[in-house]
Structures are given as C-alpha cells and as structure tokens.
Chain A
Amino acid sequence: MNAFQLLNGATFGALLFVVASGFTLIFGLLRIVNLAHGALYLAGGYIGFSTAAHSGSFLLGGAAAILAVGLLGFALDQGLLRFVRGHELREVLLTLGVAFVLNDLALVIWGGDSFTVPIPDALRGGVRVFGLFYPKYRLFVLATGVIIFVALLLLLHRTRLGALIRAGVDDPEMVEASGINIRRVFLATFVLGAALAGFGGLMGGAFLSLYPSADAEILVFSLAVVIIGGRGSIVGVAIASLLVGLLNTLGQVMFPELAYFVIFGPMVCLLAFRPYGLLGRPA
C-alpha cells in the first residue's frame, strides 16, 4: 500500500469517524441503537446537496444539513422513541422502521440517480503533500474529522453537558437523583448525534456521492466501527474508524470483490476475544 492509498484510507476513516461518533454517542448514553443513522446520513447529504446546488454555497449546504437532520433527530426522539422508552429491542426495531420510511421518501424526492455535492472552488484541485499530489477536498475532510474529534473530546471532558453525558453513561438514575433533568441531556445528545450524521452526509456526498443504497453502506461501516471501538467511546471510535478506513482501502486495492471480508474478518476475530469492542464495556 503506498502513501496515496494510505491517505485515502485515512480520509475515509475521518468521514466514518464523523458519522460513527454520532452513532456511538447515542448508543452510549441513550442505549439506543439508531438504525436510522444511515438514513439520517443520506438525508443530510441530499438536503445539503440541494441547498448547496441552489445557493452555490457549500457552507450553507452544511448548515442546512446539520439543522435539518438535527430537527429530524428531535422529531424522531420526541415523536416516536418516547413511546418505547426503556425497551431496547423495540427502540432498535422502531428506528429500523424509520430508516425504511426515510429512505423511501428520499427515493421519491430525489429519485434513484446519484448526486455529488458541489465542492467550493477553494477546495478543488490538488495539493502537494509528502511529495505526492493529493486532492485538497479529501485533506479538508481529514482535517474536519480531526477537528470534530478534538471538539467532541473537549465537549465531553471540559463542559458541563459533557460531564452530564459521561455521568449519564455510567449511571443515569444517579444523575437524575441529583436533580438533573436527564431527559434533556438525552435529547441534546440525540440531536447532536443526528446532526453529526447529517453533516457526515454532506461531507461524504462530495466525494463518495449520494445514491439510494448509500445509507445502508455507511450504516454497515458505522456499525463495524462502533462494534470494534466499543459502545460510547469516542477514542475507541476514532481508532476503529482509522482501522476500518485503512482496511477498506486495502481491501479495495487487493481484493476488490471481497472488500467486505477484509473489514469484517478482523472485526470477527476481535470479537472472539473482546465481545464488547476495543474500549467498550458490557451494557
């Protein structure tokens, strides 16, 4: 594997991190496996694409994707998930139903064609790094992934909300008993996680393009990342994203037809020894 492919793997890993960190936040705190996460990613991508294409501004597209998908997350949590609170399996299966509906709606609105989010001029073209010519946009994705990683770490470890989220992961009842409205913390986390998926959709939409089954693909990658990284661990997700990103690139180069095996093979081996992932603990 040469440096070019290594960078490809790392940038794909960065995108996976953005999407999967939202997934793991929700999974870690609310214990909800949000199978609509892929659909939220795709919705964010499509909404961002339409906004960016009409307004000509990538930034506006990003804002629209984050806002719209954050709202979708709010509606999903308050409108549907509140009725099945506390029943793990019912929650998961309900989000699965939501994923089906969202997907089908996206198919009605945007059709079956594939779209690519327009990249702003400043990020077009390539740049020379480590002696090789590499697309600027992918480096931008990599940088964004790192920034979001740092921001999430700061949020979790340096702010009041972060402290509440961490406390909520460990013992939600105790947090509630000390007079905190844990439901609000849950809701904030859910919206944040959804918004991350939406933002990921826009970013991914610019270099992976958007098409009707893109949601399932990104969902599987996110699942692999979260399963490898462990529930609720941002650092675990960062390591696993990089790992999955690199493995995926390696797989595509060496065994293009069996690329999936190359990701899931190691995942399966890992699980044989650590059923709850690298940095995860049993629920």
Chain B
Amino acid sequence: MSMVGQGALDAVPLWRRSVRDARIALVVAVILALLIALPFGLTRYQVGLATEILIYGILAMSIDILAGFAGRTSLAHGALFGVSAYVVLYAVSTLGFSPALAVLLGVVAATATAALFALVAARTAGVYFLLLTLALGMIVWGICLRWTDVTGGENGLRGNLRMGSLRDYAVFYWVVLGCAAAASFAMWRLVRSPFGLTLRGIRDSESRMRSLGYNVYLHLVVGFTISGLFAGIAGALYAFFNSFVSPTTVALTQSVQGLLMAITGGIGTLFGAFIGSATILMLENVVSSYTERWQTVLGLTFIFVMIFAPEGIVGKLGALLARAGRKSTN
C-alpha cells in the first residue's frame, strides 16, 4: 500500500535520507552528463537513433503513468502522439504558423483529444478499457486516412520544421534531451504527488478509494489527460524529428510499439520506459538491416514477452541475475 510506503519513508532518519537523496542526485547527474556528451562520441546516424529513443521513451513513459500507476492499459496513445504530430505539421506547412506556435497547438490538440477519450474510457477498467482505447485510437487513424483534404490521406503531411540551429543534428538531440529530462522529471513528480498516490490507490482498490470519498472517475479522467499531454509532447518532437507524418504514425502499431516499450522496460518503473524504448528501437534497427519483416519480429517479441517476461525484460533480467548471484554465493 502506498500509504504504508509513505509512513516508512518518514521513519527513515533525516540525515540518512539526505545522504540517499544526494546519492540519487549524483547518479542522475552522471547519467545526464553522459547523455549530453553522447553526440561527441557517436556518428550522425547513431545520434539520430538516440534522439528517436528519447522521443519514444517519453511516449512509453506517458503510457506507463496509466498502465503502471492507474492500472489502465491504453492502446490510444499512439493516436494521441500522432494527433500532435499531424497538428504540428499541418500548422506549419499548410497554415504557415511558426514552429513554436505549432508545437503549442499540437500539444493542446493531443491533450484535448486525450480529455475527450478519457471522458469515455475512464468509466471502464481492464480489458474493456483496452478495447475502448483501441477503438478510439482507430477513429483517429480512420480520420487521418480518409480526411484527405486536411491530412493528405495515404500520402500524409510533409514539412521541414527544423530551422536555424535546430538543423544541426547534435543541437536537435540536446533540445530533445532537455525536453525528455523535463518531461521525465514532471512525470516522476506526478506519480509521487498526492494525486499520483490516489491513482495508485485506484489501481490497487477502486472500491476502497470510492468509499474513502475519492472521485475515482474524475481522477482517472485527469490522469488520462495529463498522460495524453506527454504523449502529445513526444508527438510534437517526432514531427520535428521526422518532418513527415502519415496514417502509419497514428496506426495501432504505434500504440502497440509504445506499450511494448513500456512493458519491456517494466510497467510501473517509469524510467524503464527509456530502456524499453532503446531495446525495441535498437532491435528494430538490427532486424531491419537483415529483413523487411519487422512486423513479424515485433509480433513475435510481443508473444515472447507476454509468455516469458510479462514483468518486463529489464525486470526479468534483474531477477535472473539475482538468482544467478544467489546461486554463486551459495
């Protein structure tokens, strides 16, 4: 229970907590420094891949807020991601807005769509939630495919958004890194906030939270909307990264891939999302150089993870290592 966890946290002496906090801060600083230094040691292509990993990491993390902390597995986040990307590209290439305004519009559009989806989906749980979000996401896909006047249909939308210094791949990587760091920090704060604790309470026992007087529906709607906001941020960054968006961007594959990343990294671990995103994207890169059958490999990975490692590959490896370690010490 979350409340017990909170109590245990208070019981730790203050000096020990500050030592621990300092240690965590040091680890975070080292990781950030390494990530900042990345473009100096890698090729242009590899930095591009790292940028993509960060963008998809934000998407996977936004899925994890719901799946890991509210117990709601969403298959609509690929669509929210895509809505933002579409709006950003449409605003710049067709309406002629500035990229900054376009980003704002894109994120707002994704958040509004998420709020709309949440009003419907938050009434349900479990498989029903999954089905509903799947159907809602498919509406977006259908619209992007058919509303050719605006979305360009199968041809999608194209437009180069990276002006000025953003044209440099390393600078763009740093911008994305900054966004990813800020978004991760915000999401981390969110799940540790009283609001996040309420979400966890809903995950563990909806009826208990209801009888404690919490408005479960409203909390889920707000949680879903915030999660959609972050999916929208990832989508806007993707529009800059890819300069192109098509119905494939909003298709179910996108949601599935995002969810698979969150699961691979470990549901409920939050930062695992980046490890999941790195694992899946690197796998895609390797596989794509040998075969065109990435869909098959993605499907097989999904089946494999579901059967053998539903707690996530990272968690599974950790457990296996721990077991091996215990054996060797015995």
Chain A positions near chain B (C-beta within 8 angstroms): 31, 33, 35, 80, 83-84, 87-90, 92-94, 96-105, 107-108, 216, 220, 223-224, 226-227, 256-261, 264, 267-268, 271-272, 275-276, 283
Contact = CB atoms under 8 A, between A and B. Distances in A.
Contact of A224 (B120, B135, B256, B293): B135
B185 interface: no
21 contacts: A89-B73, A94-B302, A97-B300, A97-B306, A98-B299, A100-B298, A100-B299, A101-B303, A104-B295, A105-B296, A107-B295, A216-B138, A227-B132, A257-B148, A258-B146, A259-B146, A260-B139, A267-B135, A275-B123, A275-B124, A276-B128
A100 B295 contact: yes
Contacts of B149: 257
Nearest to B252: A216
A251 B79 CA distance: 22
B234 interface: no
Nearest to A223: B135
Contacts of B120: 268, 271-272
Nearest to A268: B120
A267 B131 CA distance: 13
B321 to A, nearest CB: 23
Contacts of B256: 96, 100
Interface of B: 73, 119-120, 123-124, 126-128, 130-132, 134-136, 138-139, 141-143, 146-149, 251-253, 256, 259, 263, 293, 295-296, 298-303, 306-307, 310
Q: Which of A88, A102, A261, A271 has the most CB of B within 10 A?
A: A271
Given A97-B300, A271-B123, A227 B130 contact: no
CB-based closest 6 A-B pairs = A100-B299, A97-B302, A260-B142, A101-B299, A104-B295, A97-B303
B302 A100 contact: yes
A105 to B, nearest CB: 7
A97 B257 CA distance: 10
B299 A108 contact: no
B127 A89 contact: yes
Contacts of B127: 31, 33, 88-89, 92, 283
A72 B295 CA distance: 19
A253 to B, nearest CB: 14
Contacts of B135: 220, 223-224, 227, 264, 267
Given A96-B302, A283-B126, A261 B296 contact: no
Contacts of A100: 253, 256, 295-296, 298-299, 302
Given A80-B307, A84-B307, A88-B127, A260 B73 contact: no
Contacts of B124: 271, 275
B128 A283 contact: yes
Contact of B302 (A83, A93, A103, A226): A93
Given A98-B303, A271-B120, A103 B139 contact: no
Contacts of A84: 306-307, 310
Contacts of B134: 35, 223
Contacts of B293: 104, 108
A257 B147 contact: yes
Contact of B132 (A88, A99, A271): A271
B288 to A, nearest CB: 13
Given A83-B307, A104-B299, A264-B135, 18 more contacts: A31-B127, A33-B131, A35-B134, A84-B310, A96-B256, A97-B298, A97-B301, A98-B303, A100-B253, A100-B296, A100-B298, A108-B293, A216-B252, A260-B146, A264-B136, A271-B123, A271-B132, A283-B127
Contacts of A80: 303, 307
Contacts of B132: 227, 271
Contacts of A102: 299
Contacts of B146: 256-260
A193 to B, nearest CB: 16
Nearest to A280: B128
A31 B126 CA distance: 11
B306 A94 contact: yes
Contacts of A275: 123-124, 128
A61 to B, nearest CB: 26
Contacts of A220: 135, 138, 142
